[in-house]
């Protein structure tokens, strides 16, 4: 492990960081609409993105610092179980192919900006809409926190932050600066900033992973040596548990937990507000369909990235915090200049999704809390202003997760959000196909799932904190499977039973603002909102 500040790597990192920062601010004028003061423009990029922009945006949105840091760190810590992320990204695309085009159509037909907008219109219930909005905001904050952990990991390995003995302010100051830059260009440019930066982010990540998957095995003596050394390391006893540290192949007793975690994560991925935001920013249903067929290319990259966990073991990387394993591997194996490129890929890979996530959460607050309950007569310009401010507050909430929760197993952040976001499935996905479920039953099911899932997660200790953590490789898995999926099953059971009861007593149902044809409408059909008109030549955007 290298000591002190890695000046060359830091210089390269700063160069790329400044470049994307400039791009973030310039993006405010990229393909900007004439009427820029609205959520359609600031929060959805004018609903104008085509196949390739959407592909890079969704890739930048879904494949994050979680991909580059947390997944290989999970493999480094315990072996094969960390690969659960690969099958879940494969499973999710057939699932979303069935419902995302329907969500796009009804959202564009009615001008919905968020998934909670749709739920309110479908079931005529502001209460249910509010519940889903709060869930989306809550689930997004730990996910943003995971991105900030990724930035902090590369800064730590570069020697920036004053070392382990520095006070908390000095140690976290670089992270706070990166956070401030992210907040500034998100406020200025909205969704166009991460859409533009995503091109750079994905190019860097593909370059780094292609070089790493070829160069590192050659330097370490080949894959046979890597697997042999990793297998030997996993077979060693963990002093804390008295059991093997991990395994190259998932043990039989862990396979059900592995399968339920993969399935639950697949169901949750495209329900996050940032996923919905990226989807609704596209210009047609066909853009969504095409993307679900080509996005699995990222799953191939994810599998290769997970392999870095084995390589870190073979390279004798020793870190107390597993999140530092892959950054430290790059620092130990590559020349300083390429280490800087790799760290820039991780850092930018954290900034892009963090920006989209904060925008998506801000849209939820503005549309489904501020406008629905506080200011029903808010103008589009007022909505955009409130959303910009809310995007800053969401990032502050994410910082609270980073500064207060255990970061040694950062994958906790993503799995905790997954437990919560899964509870929106009955109302959101179910509502796209049927209105049989009663709105009050959906609210009761949501409450049951949220309460049970949060309680089980809270009641899971780790070696470094009493709640929301686990010394096991994959947290929030009980003997019967992933807590998020168990909470979802309870949710569905309550919804079904309560619906039968409420239908029997003829409880009042809400008004459905949609009709069947809305769910198959496409760009160009009557009443479907398409992209906003661009600013006229020679006229400043927004005037």
Helix H, strand E, coil C: the string for 279-337 is HHCECCHHHHHHHHHHCHHHHHHHHHHHHHHHHHHHCCCCCCCHHHHHHHHHHHHCCHH
Q: 3-class secondary structure for 156-185?
A: HHCCCCCCCCCCHHHHHHHHHHHHHHHHHH
Kindly state the DSSP code that residue 511 receives in the 8-state scheme.
P
Decide: helix, strand or coil at residue 138.
helix
Task: Determine the Cα angle at 314 with ends 309 and 316, to 5°.
Answer: 100
The answer to whether residues 518 and 524 touch, using CB atoms and an 8 Å cutoff, is: no
Cα–Cα dist 499/91, whole Å? 30
Tell me what pLDDT residue 330 has.
92
Residue 466 in tokens: 């009493």
CA distances from 422 to 20, 73, 188, 453 (A): 33, 24, 32, 10
Q: Which residue has the tokens 């810590």?
A: 77
Distance of CA 168 to the CA centre of its chain: 26
Domain annotation for the chain: domains and CATH numbers: 7-373+382-509 (1.20.1730.10)
Tell me what pLDDT residue 471 has.
31
Decide: helix, strand or coil at residue 49.
strand
Q: What is the dihedral of CA 91, 78, 460, 138, to 10 degrees?
A: -40
The answer to whether residues 483 and 474 touch, using CB atoms and an 8 Å cutoff, is: no
Tell me what pLDDT residue 332 has.
92
Q: Split the chain (543 residues) into runs of 10 and give each run's mean pLDDT.
A: 74 88 78 65 77 78 72 84 84 86 91 93 95 93 78 81 53 71 79 82 86 92 91 80 76 78 86 88 86 82 88 89 85 92 86 85 93 90 88 78 61 77 95 95 96 82 52 42 87 97 92 92 73 40 33
**Number of Cβ within a 10 Å radius of residue 25:** 14
Long-range CB contacts (within 8 A, 24+) of 385-389: 385/37, 387/39, 387/42, 387/43, 387/359, 387/362, 387/363, 388/42, 388/187, 388/190, 388/362, 389/362
Cα–Cα dist 59/61, whole Å? 5
The answer to whether residues 461 and 469 touch, using CB atoms and an 8 Å cutoff, is: yes
pTM (predicted TM-score): 0.85
Distance of CA 368 to the CA centre of its chain: 21
Decide: helix, strand or coil at residue 44.
coil
Task: Determine the Cα angle at 377 with ends 375 and 382, to 5°.
Answer: 75
For residue 522, the surrounding DSSP H or E stretch is none
Tell me what pLDDT residue 475 has.
40
**Number of Cβ within a 10 Å radius of residue 290:** 17
Q: Which residue has the tokens 């879940």?
A: 88
Q: Residue 46 half-sphere exposure, CB side, CA atoms within 13 Å?
A: 25
List residues bridging with 482 in a β-sheet. Answer: 477
Q: Which residue has the tokens 């996005």?
A: 295
Task: Give φ, ψ of 537 to 5 degrees.
Answer: -60, 135
């Amino acid at each position: 492990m290298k000591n002190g500040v890695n000046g060359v790597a830091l210089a390269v990192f700063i160069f790329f960081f400044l470049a994307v920062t400039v791009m973030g601010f310039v993006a405010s004028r990229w393909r900007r609409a004439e009427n820029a003061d609205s959520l359609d423009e600031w929060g959805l990029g004018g609903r104008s993105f085509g196949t390739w922009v959407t592909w890079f945006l969704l890739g930048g949105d879904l494949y994050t610092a979680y991909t580059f840091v947390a997944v290989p760190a999970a493999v480094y810590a315990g072996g094969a179980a960390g690969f659960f992320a690969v099958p879940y990204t494969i499973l999710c695309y057939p699932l979303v192919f069935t419902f995302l085009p329907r969500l796009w159509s009804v959202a564009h037909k009615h001008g919905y900006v968020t998934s909670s907008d749709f739920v309110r219109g479908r079931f005529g219930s502001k209460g249910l809409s509010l519940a889903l909005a709060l869930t989306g905001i809550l689930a997004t904050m730990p996910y943003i926190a995971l991105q900030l952990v990724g930035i902090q990991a590369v800064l730590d390995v570069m020697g920036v932050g004053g070392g382990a003995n520095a006070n908390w302010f000095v140690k976290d100051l670089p992270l706070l600066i990166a956070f401030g830059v992210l907040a500034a260009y998100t406020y200025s440019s909205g969704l166009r900033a991460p859409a533009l930066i995503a091109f750079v982010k994905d190019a860097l990540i593909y370059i780094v992973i292609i070089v790493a998957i070829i160069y590192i095995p050659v330097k370490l003596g080949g894959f046979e040596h890597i697997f042999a050394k990793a297998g030997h390391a996993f077979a060693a006893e963990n002093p804390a548990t008295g059991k093997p540290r991990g395994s190259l192949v998932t043990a039989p007793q862990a396979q059900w937990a592995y399968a339920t975690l993969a399935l639950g994560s697949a169901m949750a991925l495209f329900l996050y507000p940032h996923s919905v935001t990226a989807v609704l920013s596209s210009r047609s249903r066909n853009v969504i369909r095409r993307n679900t067929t080509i996005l699995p290319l990222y799953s191939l990259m994810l599998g290769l990235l997970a392999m870095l966990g084995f390589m870190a073991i073979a390279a004798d990387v020793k870190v107390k915090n597993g999140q530092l394993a892959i950054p430290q591997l790059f620092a130990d194996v590559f020349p300083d200049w390429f280490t800087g490129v790799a760290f820039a890929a991780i850092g930018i890979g954290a900034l892009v999704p963090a920006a989209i996530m904060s925008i998506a959460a801000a849209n939820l607050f503005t549309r489904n809390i501020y406008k629905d309950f506080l200011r029903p007569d808010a103008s589009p310009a007022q909505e955009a202003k409130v959303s910009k401010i809310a995007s800053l507050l969401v990032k502050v909430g994410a910082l609270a997760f980073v500064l207060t929760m255990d970061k040694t197993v950062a994958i906790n952040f993503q799995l905790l959000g997954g437990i919560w976001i899964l509870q929106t499935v009955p109302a959101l996905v179910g509502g796209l196909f049927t209105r049989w479920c009663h709105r009050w039953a959906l609210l009761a099911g949501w409450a049951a799932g949220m309460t049970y899932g949060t309680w089980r997660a809270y009641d899971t200790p780790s070696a470094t904190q009493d709640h929301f953590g686990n010394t096991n490789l994959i947290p929030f898995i009980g003997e019967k499977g992933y807590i998020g999926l168990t909470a979802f099953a309870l949710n569905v059971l309550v919804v079904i039973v309560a619906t039968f009861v409420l239908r029997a007593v003829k409880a009042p149902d809400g008004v459905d603002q949609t009709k069947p044809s809305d769910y198959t409408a496409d760009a160009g059909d009557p009443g479907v909102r398409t992209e906003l008109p661009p600013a006229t030549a020679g006229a400043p955007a927004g005037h």
